[in-house]
Amino acid sequence: MATGRTHRPATRSRGIPEATVARLPLYLRALTALSERSVPTVSSEELAAAAGVNSAKLRKDFSYLGSYGTRGVGYDVEYLVYQISRELGLTQDWPVVIVGIGNLGAALANYGGFASRGFRVAALIDADPTMAGKPVAGIPVQHTDELEKIISDNGVSIGVIATPAGAAQQVCERLVAAGVTSILNFAPTVLSVPDGVDVRKVDLSIELQILAFHEQRKAGEETDAEADVETVVPPVATRAPATGAAGRKGPDGDVPAVMPA
């Protein structure tokens, strides 16, 4: 299997930067919520807040779509929903296969949100022969022997990998050889794909690690802030001993009489 890059250049052929493409689903989610409430127009500030994006960035993003809104009125919600859906290719039905129907694959198969966003689960595929024919989310699981035929019969271009990490590259290669050109990879491994194949990786443990980093930093800032307060507040007898050591919290939250060197 050819090794290759897992990303396309930062700008797509139609001139929309990847960073903008990555924000379009956020706008679409916020706009869909407005549409469901029959809100006809929205200002860039309101929409930016709902999408969690800076409003100047939003206006720039929409300029790539040729959408500039109307001064004093804002953007037409329904039209933007249509424009963004069209840009993301969501105005057509995308058949998707999920490979690896264990805990995660079954949960994904049961997720109703794919169908409502234009992604039809065309097939569920697993290597375990005992699973073949068993329905998950109402769809019978098919054996991996059928993979190529399933892709071809259903015209599938998007594959979801939810196998153990050790199997993911081989599954990826079979999917690509069968005609899949976009892969959503949940397995904790980096996939090698040839040019022209897009890979998106989802890893919740990485997201949790990033949150852990922020939690640690917040805890550090709190400790620093407390230390700052203690350095400006004159030490009182209970906090700073007669040695005159400035009160700083030790690792257990106590106030050591003498700070370690």
Ligand X SMILES: NC(=O)c1ccc[n+]([C@@H]2O[C@H](COP(=O)([O-])OP(=O)(O)OC[C@H]3O[C@@H](n4cnc5c(N)ncnc54)[C@H](O)[C@@H]3O)[C@@H](O)[C@H]2O)c1
Nearer CB in complex with ligand X: 90/97: 97
| Of the candidate residues 127, 150, 180, 197, the single one contacting ligand X (CB under 6 A) | 127
Of 36-44, 63-71, 165-173, 222-230, the segment contacting ligand X by CB under 6 A is 165-173
Is 203 a binder of ligand X (CB under 6 A)? yes
Share of the chain residues as helix, strand and coil, in percent rounded to the nearest 5? 45, 15, 40
Nearer CB in complex with ligand X: 48/99: 99
| Of the candidate residues 87, 96, 126, 172, the single one contacting ligand X (CB under 6 A) | 126
Contact between residue 95 and residue 156 where contact means Cβ atoms under 8 Å apart? yes
Nearer CB in complex with ligand X: 107/115: 107
Contact between residue 184 and residue 161 where contact means Cβ atoms under 8 Å apart? yes
Minimum gap (Å) between residue 254 Cβ and ligand X: 40
| Of the candidate residues 85, 142, 163, 182, the single one contacting ligand X (CB under 6 A) | 163
Long-range (24+ apart) CB contacts under 8 A made by 245-253 are: 249/223
Nearer CB in complex with ligand X: 102/220: 102
| Of the candidate residues 115, 165, 177, 227, the single one contacting ligand X (CB under 6 A) | 165
Minimum gap (Å) between residue 144 Cβ and ligand X: 5
Nearer CB in complex with ligand X: 135/250: 135
| Strand (E) or helix (H) holding 74 | none
Contact between residue 170 and residue 143 where contact means Cβ atoms under 8 Å apart? no
Burial class (CB in 10 A: 0-12, 13-18, 19+), 61: buried
Is 103 a binder of ligand X (CB under 6 A)? yes
Nearer CB in complex with ligand X: 133/188: 188
| Of the candidate residues 128, 146, 215, 224, the single one contacting ligand X (CB under 6 A) | 128
- According to DSSP, residue 17 is labeled B
Is 204 a binder of ligand X (CB under 6 A)? yes
Q: Which one, of 161, 124, 162, lies nearest residue 143 by Cα? A: 124
What gap in Å lies between CA 145 and CA 142, rounded to an integer?
8
Contact between residue 259 and residue 245 where contact means Cβ atoms under 8 Å apart? yes
Q: Which residues bind to ligand X, rule: CB under 6 A? A: 99-105, 125-128, 144, 162-165, 167, 171, 186-188, 202-204
